[in-house]
Amino acid sequence: MSSQKTRGIVLRLMPFNDKNSIVKIYTEHFGLRTFIVSASSSKASRQKTALLQSLQPIWLETSFIDSNKLSRLGEITASGSINNAMQHHTKRSILLFLNEVLYKCLREEQPDEPLFNFLIDSINYLDKTAQHCNNYHLLFLIEMSRYLGFMPVANYSNYHKYFYYREGLFDSFKSDNLMMDEEQSKYFAQLLNLNFESMEQMQLHTNARNKLLENMMFFYAQHLPSFKDIKSLEILSEIHAI
């Protein structure tokens, strides 16, 4: 079978046996795939493993036989960089958080090129930007929800001032249904009008930002059954409290 080439984003590298590891990669043309890769101590194997760090953008070659079987990972090269982000304390914690979020969200073995391009562009932006990134992860979650099919409706007003998680929109009355409080709903509405370039226009106290992140995690959990127990959430909250 002929070799196929595609871009990918590394999600997780895990030991498989004494001679091999397995790596989960979200690919541009084939969706989420699992590959087997040599875990030997050879120079070529070490170089390949060095490129398989979480959220590293790569070019990869492989021959797919069956989506339900492990494919051998062929040649890989970098298609982008996360080196700058990995050397920055806050950005490194954001990468850890994003990696866990994506591992929970990306389950489809079907290509979604708009989503893939969003992820690549977002990772590249985080690596290169000189901006403070205190709100980056919040904007990332909002933008990714667009591609996952549950983008919130930006209908906030003085009348519609409570955000309902399951409905994904703002409404005018309090109820027993799941909703953000008035203050958090206002912050959330402000985020919906920002993007990465303008993200630092919104100044939030650390406690308010952390609470907003918790609420957004809850919003995701209402729409994605697999989305729960994000272990890096506490680490990210601690980093932003420094």
Quote the pLDDT of residue 67. Answer: 59
Q: pLDDT tens digits, residue range 231-242?
A: 776 666 665 543
Question: With a cut of 50, which residues of the chain have pLDDT below it?
Answer: 241-242
Classify domain 4-78 at the CATH class level.
Answer: mainly beta
Quote the pLDDT of residue 64. Answer: 65
What pTM did the predictor assign? 0.91
Is residue 13 within 8 A of residue 58, CB to CB? The reply is no
Do 4-78 and 85-240 come out as alike in CATH topology?
A: no
Q: What is the DSSP letter of 151?
A: P
Question: Where do the domains of the chain lie?
Answer: 4-78, 85-240
Superfamily in which the 85-240 domain is placed by CATH? Recombination protein O, C-terminal domain (1.20.1440.120)
Pair type for strands 169-171 and 162-164: antiparallel
Spatial separation of the C-alpha atoms in residues 230 and 215, rounded to whole Å:
13
